[in-house]
């Protein structure tokens, strides 16, 4: 069918309508007219794939990665010139805020992109494909659980790319037959590469050593590695969350600190603190920081990382944010939160609102849950949305990272 598509939706598809039905068209840029083939029919909407572009946008480019055309699900926007990717992501974020009845003009949403939007991922998970005794690593094809074998990836750092053939050969050993995926984390500025099998424990102790025989220029570790951030040293394990784009991580955290407006005397709560990379930056500018984290693994690493970086003014509290903050009765000047993609439980928002912090800095990796949660903060009548910044952590994909400031009403 022939379609003229409108705005980009969260997820990377452009919107069109057929007889009143919404159609999400992948591979199309807003304003284009395309030939599209319907791939999924559901009661409320259809999904389609653009098969030919009849009236291309000026921002359409040739995707540089051959696996993109083969259906790799790792990227969604390689056919869109990078400045237009940023513009479309800004539109998506603005639309999500509007849906939550949040007043923020689109021209007030600051956008911080990358000078070079490639080779930025320092962590990746690759699925194992076994065929006729041979093993290859790759990503799922989009909308499937079928693995597309790859030997290069333009959004991952080269250290990870160099390791793929060696680990694929090592996985041919019958002792690694239970391994279904491998996760890699590279420490920037070093030759250290952290690897972990999935399911955990599915590789025998010699698995990494066999891979190392083919990649002598990398130091492999299956436990933890050290990682530098803003002059500080952190221990990182496979299960620990880290921002995968080291260049934009610094941009994101610097902007979060700017929005926090710390002068040295504030008491700060860092909710969903993880292993403490942002916590340590906050501690340098605050009188004290309470780091709230549910994961026992992250808490242990976080406490170690605070010791390594002489952050004596940080105290970790293990538990759910809603449980810890519901009982918290000390005054707080700034609340910082960086929840997982699902956002905050409603009880957590209620507990944070009741703290009454003059400023809240919210870091989010999902614009829909960000808008929902910010709407809850503002609906309570206690806060207003002050600033919104889009930090492009994931070029070539639809993913959106943002940081916002909320201010308590007088």
Count Cβ atoms below 10 Å from residue 152 Cβ, excluding itself. 12
153 in catalytic set? no
Cα distance between residue 253 and residue 184, in whole Å? 23
| Residues facing residue 171 across a β-bridge | none
How far are the Cα atoms of 65, 209, 235, 306 from residue 166, in angstroms, in the given order? Answer: 22, 10, 25, 35
DSSP H helices, 48-205, are 66-69, 82-99, 158-170
Cα distance between residue 56 and residue 60, in whole Å? 7
Pick the catalytic residue: 65, 75, 365, 378?
365
Count Cβ atoms below 10 Å from residue 81 Cβ, excluding itself. 15
Cα distance between residue 243 and residue 247, in whole Å? 10
Count Cβ atoms below 10 Å from residue 222 Cβ, excluding itself. 15
N- to C-terminal Cα separation, the chain: 55
Cα distance between residue 124 and residue 238, in whole Å? 11
DSSP H helices, 60-203, are 66-69, 82-99, 158-170
Which tokens hold the place of 142?
A: 């989009």
- Catalytic residue numbers read 365
């Amino acid at each position: 069918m022939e379609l003229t598509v409108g705005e980009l939706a969260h997820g990377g598809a452009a919107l069109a309508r057929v007889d009143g039905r919404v159609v999400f068209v992948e591979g199309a840029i807003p304003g284009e007219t395309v030939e599209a083939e319907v791939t999924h029919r559901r009661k409320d909407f259809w999904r389609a794939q653009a098969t030919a572009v009849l009236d291309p946008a000026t921002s359409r480019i040739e995707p540089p990665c051959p696996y993109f055309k083969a259906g790799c699900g790792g990227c969604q926007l390689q056919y869109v010139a990078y400045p237009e990717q940023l513009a479309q992501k800004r539109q998506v974020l603005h639309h999500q805020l509007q849906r939550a009845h949040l007043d923020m003009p689109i021209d007030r949403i600051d956008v911080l992109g990358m000078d070079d939007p490639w080779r930025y991922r320092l962590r990746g998970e690759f699925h194992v494909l076994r065929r006729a005794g041979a093993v290859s690593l790759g990503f799922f094809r989009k909308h499937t659980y079928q693995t597309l074998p790859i030997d290069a990836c333009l959004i991952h750092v080269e250290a990870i790319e160099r390791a793929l053939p060696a680990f694929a050969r090592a996985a041919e050993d019958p002792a690694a037959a239970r391994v279904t995926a491998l996760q890699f984390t590279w420490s920037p500025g070093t030759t250290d590469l952290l690897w972990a099998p999935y399911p955990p424990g599915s590789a025998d102790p010699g698995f990494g050593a066999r891979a190392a025989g083919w990649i002598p220029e990398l130091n492999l570790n299956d436990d933890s590695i050290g990682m530098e951030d803003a002059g500080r040293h952190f221990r990182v394990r496979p299960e620990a969350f880290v921002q995968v784009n080291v260049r934009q991580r610094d941009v994101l955290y610097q902007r979060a600190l700017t929005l926090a407006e710390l002068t040295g005397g504030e008491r700060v709560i860092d909710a969903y603190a993880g292993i403490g990379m942002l916590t340590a930056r906050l501690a340098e500018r605050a009188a004290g920081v309470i780091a709230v984290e549910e994961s026992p693994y992250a808490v242990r690493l976080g406490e170690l990382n605070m010791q390594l970086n002489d952050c004596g003014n940080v105290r970790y509290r293990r538990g759910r944010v809603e449980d810890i903050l519901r009982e918290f009765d000390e005054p707080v000047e700034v609340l910082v939160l960086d929840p997982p993609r699902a956002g905050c439980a409603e009880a957590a928002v209620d507990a944070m609102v009741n703290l009454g912090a003059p400023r809240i800095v919210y870091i989010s990796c999902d614009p829909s849950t960000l808008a929902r949660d910010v709407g809850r903060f503002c609906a309570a009548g206690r806060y207003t949305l002050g600033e919104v910044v889009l930090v492009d952590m994931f070029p070539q994909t639809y993913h959106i990272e943002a940081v916002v400031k909320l201010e308590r009403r007088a």
